[in-house]
Amino acid sequence: MLIDKNSPLPIYHQIEEYIKDRIEKGELKPGNVLPSEREYSQLFQVSRMTIRQAINKLVNDGYLYRKKGSGTFVAEKKFEQALQGLTSFTEDMKARGLTPSSKLLHFEIIPASPQVAATLQVAENTPVYEMKRIRLADEIPMALETCYISANLVKGLTEEIVSHSIYRYIEEKLQLEIGEATQIIESSLANETETELLKIKKGSPILLIERCTFLTNGTPFEIVRSSYRADRYKFISHLKR
Residues 6+ apart with CB under 8 A from 51: 12, 15, 37, 40, 41, 44
79 near ligand 16G (CB under 6 A): no
- Residues between 145 and 174 that touch ligand 16G (CB under 6 A): 145, 147, 165-168
Cβ at position 167, least distance to ligand 16G in Å: 3
Sequence length of the chain is: 241
Residues 6+ apart with CB under 8 A from 104: 131, 132, 133, 159, 162, 163
Residue of 211, 214, 219, 234 that binds ligand 16G (CB under 6 A): 211
Tell which residue, 105, 103, 180, has the closest CA to residue 142: 103
Cβ at position 217, least distance to ligand 16G in Å: 18
78 near ligand 16G (CB under 6 A): no
Cβ at position 162, least distance to ligand 16G in Å: 7
227 near ligand 16G (CB under 6 A): no
Q: Which is nearer to ligand 16G, 32 or 188 (CB)?
A: 188
Provide the 8-state DSSP code for 156. Answer: T
Judge contact between 117 and 125, C-beta under 8 A: yes
How many CA atoms are closer than 13 Å to the CA of 187, on its beta-carbon side? 8
Cβ at position 186, least distance to ligand 16G in Å: 12
**Sites of contact with ligand 16G (CB under 6 A):** 88-90, 145, 147, 165-168, 209, 211, 222, 224, 226
